Amino acid sequence: MAKTWEELEKVQPTVLKMMQNSIIKNRVGHAYLLEGMRGTGKKDTALLLARALFCEAPINGYQPCEACNNCKRIANGNHPDVHIVEPDGLSIKKQQIKELQEEFSKKAVESSKKVYMIVHADKMSNGASNSLLKFLEEPNAETVAFLLTQQVQQILPTILSRCQTLSFKPLPLNAMTKQLVENGINPLNAALFAQMTNNLDEAIALNVDDWFAQAQKLVVKLYEVLNKNPLEAMVNLQGDWFLHFKEKEQLDRGLDLLLLIIKDLLYIQLDKQDQIVFKKESERLKQFALHASGRRISEQMAAILDAKRRLQANMNPQLLMEQLVLKLQEGSSFV
């Protein structure tokens, strides 16, 4: 179900207040960059703002009524003047942006307004980015663009300069964890899910996701064999790991989980055990923490973050993981 203004205002009050003022004063910009971590409501907010712009009877002059024909069709994804572009495979292609431009060169079907949304704008190819830049430089009247990203550093500076940036803040971890427990999530799991996403519905889905449950076990197992010998860790990669983490997004999740394990070791060493998220594995983690220095933990966290950056840069996943395992074991640099 589409999120309402009141629901989103609770988690993103600053963003909604800015847009409220723009709509009331009739100063809506031609392009907005919605940036923030996964699950902070960027897409829900973009669709909400599209409904606000097209609503036939806005409440207080800015809130979509959610009952008119335009609001309902946008919520259902079938309004002819609202277009959503998402990655075709791993990236957004130049042809997708060209087709969008061609669509927007036509007269709006039902009004003078048109809205387009680019989801994962950081995944645009160079050709797509350059095509979009030309589009942004010569905006059509009453056309509004919403670019959504979790990786704002991947967006061309020339595109950033032509957009108004709306930064989405994550719900505080303790508040998110409490919300999850209130929705029936086991307290032993809630802290972990709160780290993985800021979206309640997504966290609830993870709670019953067999793939994610198995992913947690495999990540703990990998860290365990990392402390034994290089051969066993490599065998683990070729066996269980690559069979389970097949897609780029799955591997990114795996790296996130591995990073959380390392963070838990740090919390144990700092005697902040209430902050660990792998609560079911706390006894095993305490044993790991006994054999890890603060410097080693810091180096391992840096190595995983570097691996995440390399993954987003489309490095070969198998080579990436093999290099990461060696670095986590030996403290050597990536080659």
pTM, entire model: 0.72
Q: Name the domain count of the chain.
A: 2
Do residues 24 and 159 share a domain? yes
Q: Same domain, yes or no, for 254 and 154? A: no
Residue 160: inside a domain, yes or no?
yes
Question: Which CATH number belongs to the domain containing residue 152 in this structure?
Answer: 3.40.50.300
Query: For the stretch 262-287, what's the b/e string if a residue is b when 16 or more beta carbons lie within 10 angstroms of its beta carbon?
Result: bbbbbbbbeeeeeebbbbebeeebee
Residue 91 forms part of a structural domain: yes
CATH number of 324's domain:
1.20.272
Same domain, yes or no, for 96 and 228?
no
Q: How far is CA 305 from CA 68, 117, 196, in A?
A: 46, 29, 15
Is residue 190, in this structure, part of any structural domain at all?
no
pLDDT digits (tens, 9 = 90+) for 181-198: 999 999 999 999 999 988
Q: Is residue 204 part of a domain?
A: no
Q: Please tell me whether residues 13 and 140 are part of one structural domain.
A: yes
Domain that holds residue 91: 5-167
Q: Look at residue 130 and tell me if it is in a domain.
A: yes
pLDDT of residue 108: 66
Q: Do 274 and 135 share a structural domain?
A: no
CA 135/CA 3 separation, integer angstroms: 29
User: What is the rounded average pLDDT of the residues 165-169?
Assistant: 94
**Residue 248 lies inside a defined structural domain of this protein:** yes
- For 214-268, what is each residue's pLDDT tens digit? 999 999 999 989 877 768 888 989 989 999 999 999 999 999 999 999 999 999 9
DSSP 4: P
Last residue of a domain, one of 102, 133, 167: 167
Whether residue 180 is contained in a domain is answered as no
| Residues 151 and 226 reside in one and the same domain | no
Task: For the chain, give the mean pLDDT.
Answer: 90
In this structure, the answer to whether residues 45 and 141 fall within a common structural domain is: yes
Residues 158 and 216 in one domain: no
